[in-house]
Amino acid sequence: MGFQELLNIMEKLRGERGCPWDKEQTRESLKPFILEEAYEFIEAIDQGEPEKMMEELGDLLLRQVFSRNLTAFLDLCFNKIAFKDGPVRPEGRGGSPSCENLKT
């Protein structure tokens, strides 16, 4: 399954004939789920379980898809990477092309 298929499924779930629970969700109502998934991801890191880490990151991405603002989210991700990492920084952004200057 591709990323576009995930978006299409979510659109159906939240659409007019979709799932009532999915349609009711807001950023506010999703906060406890996002927090739970983040803690589960940290737990998987602490336990050194790569498959569990991937599962929990998938759950976090799903919560972002729920928020209906995926384009803004992806733009933010791109801008963070482009700003921090010189080798992929767009022309005119300035700064060092070195990866050694990265900060979180």
Over the stretch 28-76, which tens digit does the pLDDT of each residue have? 888 899 899 999 999 999 999 999 999 999 888 888 777 766 667 777 7
Residue 78 lies in a domain: yes
**Whole-prediction pTM value?**
0.63
Structural domain containing residue 33: 26-84
Report the C-alpha gap between 83 and 104 in whole angstroms.
11
Residue 89 lies in a domain: no
Structure letter (DSSP) for residue 100: G
Report the C-alpha gap between 49 and 79 in whole angstroms.
29
**100 pLDDT above the threshold of 90:** no
Give the count of domains, the chain. 1
Residue 54 lies in a domain: yes
Residue 104 banded pLDDT, cuts 50, 70, 90: very low
Do the Cβ atoms of 41 and 63 come closer than 8 Å?
no
Residue 103 lies in a domain: no
Token match 């739970």: residue? Answer: 36
Whole-number pLDDT of residue 24 = 86
Whole-number pLDDT of residue 42 = 96
